[in-house]
Copies of this chain bind each other. A is one copy, B any other.
Amino acid sequence: MNQSRFNANILDNDPQRRARILPILEAALDAVDPAEAMLGVVRRQGDVLRVREFSYDLNDYRSIYVVGFGKAATPMASAVRVLLGNRLSGGVLATKYGHGPTHPDDLQPIDLLQAGHPVPDEAGLDAARQIVDVLRKAGAQDLIFCLVSGGGSALLTLPAEGISLADLQATTQALLGCGATIHEINAVRKHLSQVKGGQLARLAAPATLVSLLVSDVVGSSLDVIASGPTVPDGSTWADAWAVINSYDIEEVLPEAVRSRLQAGLNGMLEDTPKAGDSVFARCQTVIIADNAIAAGAAAEKATESGFNAAVLSTFVEGEAKEVAKIAVALGREVIAHGRPLPAPACLIFGGETTVTIRGGGKGGRNQELALAASLFLNPLPERERLVLVSLASDGTDGPTDSAGGIADGRTVERGQRLGLSAADHLANNDSYPYLQEVGDLLLTGPTRTNVNDLIFVFVFE
C-alpha cells in the first residue's frame, strides 16, 4: 500500500480502529483506479494482449486505435498507451474540461479534446465527430480500444441527422418532467443519436472493438453505461414511441424529434442494432472497474484484516438518512445475534443515495449519511462497538472537497463538546462543517475514478 491517501487528522479520533479501517477503504479505491484496473484486466505478454478470456495478437492488426469518452478517459488512455507502446497508431478522447493530462503531450499520438459536462456543448459534438471519423476509417484489419467512463453519455453526444442539441435537451426535459423512468428516457434518446444504443459498434465494424468500461451506473447494466454505445440495444422504435404515447408528450416534442420517431416507427429508418446482430461479431466489452469490484476488494482486505466481511448489496439507492438507519440496524443484529456474521464484522454496501434538500448547508450524500448515522448510533447502549463509513469513490461528495465521513458512537458527543448540534446540522443539510469540526470528515482529493459510493458498517468486539 502507498502512503495513505486520507487526511492525517482522521486518525485523531479512535486512532487504533481507524488505522484498521482506512486500509480497507484504500483497497476499495485502489481496485477501481482507472489505470491500475486497466493494467489488471489488460495484460501484455510479448506481442499478445490478453483481455479476460480473449487474446489479441498485435501482429494480426494493421493499425491500433484508441478512442474514449468520460471523466476517466485520460488515466485509462495513459495505461493503454503504456501497454501498446509504439504499436499505437492514434485516436481521439473526449473528456470533461479540466480532466486532461498534466502535460499536453502525455497521450501522444492520441488527441485529447475537452468538452462540456453534464450539459453537452459544441466542443463535445466536435469530439464525437472526430471519434466517429476514427471508427469509420478503421477496417477489418484494425483493432480499436474504446475507453468508457462516467460522463461518457454527455461527452459522446452526436444527435441523429436533422436533430439539434437543443432538440435533444428539450426532449430530455419533457421526459424528465412527465416522470418517465430512466429506462424509458434511454429508449427515446438512443433513437435520437448516431452513437448510443450499440450504434458506435456499427460504426466501428468490421474492425475489432474492445470496449473497457469504468461504470458509475448502479448495477453496471452494459446498455445503460454511457447509453450502451457498443452493446446491443434492447429498445425499439416502437418502445420509444410507446413512451411518448404513454406520457402523452407528443405535442411538447420538437418537430424534428417527432418526425424522426414517426419515421422510425413506420420502418423508414434503420433501428439500433439488436442482440445477435453481426456488428457485434468482433466486439468484446469488459467492465474493468465498478462498484461491485470496489466492494469486493474492500471485503477481501477486511477479511485479511481479521473481520468477518460480506458485501450485502451494490444496488443501494434511496434517501441517505434512511440508508443510514438500516445500516445501523444491520450492525445491531451482528451484536445482538451474530447475524448475518459474527463480530468483528465488516458489512459493505454500494450504490448511490440521494438527499432531499431541506436546508441551506454544505454537504454531500455521503457526509449526510454519516452524520445521520451518528445520530442513530448515539442513543444505543452498544454504540461503542459500531463504526459507519460512507465514502464517495470519486473523492468529491456533492459540491464539496470531502470524500465522505466516519460516524461512531462519539461523533455526536464530539460536537456537543464544541457546542455543535449534530441534529441541527443534519436538519440544515450541513454535514460538512460538523464533520470537519469534530474530526470525522474524510478527505482524499479527486481520485480520478467514479464507481459511486460505498457504505461500511464495522462491528468491533
Contact = CB atoms under 8 A, between A and B. Distances in A.
A379 B296 CA distance: 26
Nearest to A314: B333
Interface string A298-337: 0000000000001111111111001101101110110011
A50 interface: no
A190 to B, nearest CB: 16
A11 B310 CA distance: 35
A317 B329 contact: yes
Nearest to A350: B333
A333 B310 contact: no
B292 A337 contact: yes
A333 B312 contact: yes
A68 interface: no
Q: Name the interface size band of chain A.
A: 20 to 34
A219 interface: yes
Determine how many copies of this chain the complex contains: 2
A159 interface: no
A311 B329 CA distance: 12
A325 B312 CA distance: 14
A120 interface: no
A-side interface mostly:
mixed
A330 B221 CA distance: 16
Given A312-B312, A340-B340, A379-B183, A326 B318 contact: yes
A329 B351 contact: yes
Contact of A311 (B319, B339, B381): B339
A314 B326 CA distance: 10
A181 interface: yes
A312 B339 contact: yes
Contacts of A219: 332, 336
Contacts of A319: 319, 322
Contacts of A381: 221
Interface string A371-390: 00000000101000000000
Contact of A333 (B311, B332, B340): B311
Contacts of A313: 326, 329-330, 332-333, 339
A312 B323 CA distance: 14
Interface of A: 181, 183, 219, 221, 292, 296, 310-319, 322-323, 325-326, 328-330, 332-333, 336-337, 339-340, 351, 379, 381
Closest 10 CB pairs of A and B: A322-B322, A315-B329, A313-B333, A315-B332, A318-B325, A313-B329, A310-B340, A313-B330, A311-B339, A318-B322
Given A317-B325, A318-B325, A329-B351, 14 more contacts: A221-B381, A311-B333, A311-B337, A311-B339, A311-B340, A312-B333, A312-B339, A313-B326, A313-B329, A313-B330, A313-B333, A315-B328, A315-B332, A317-B329
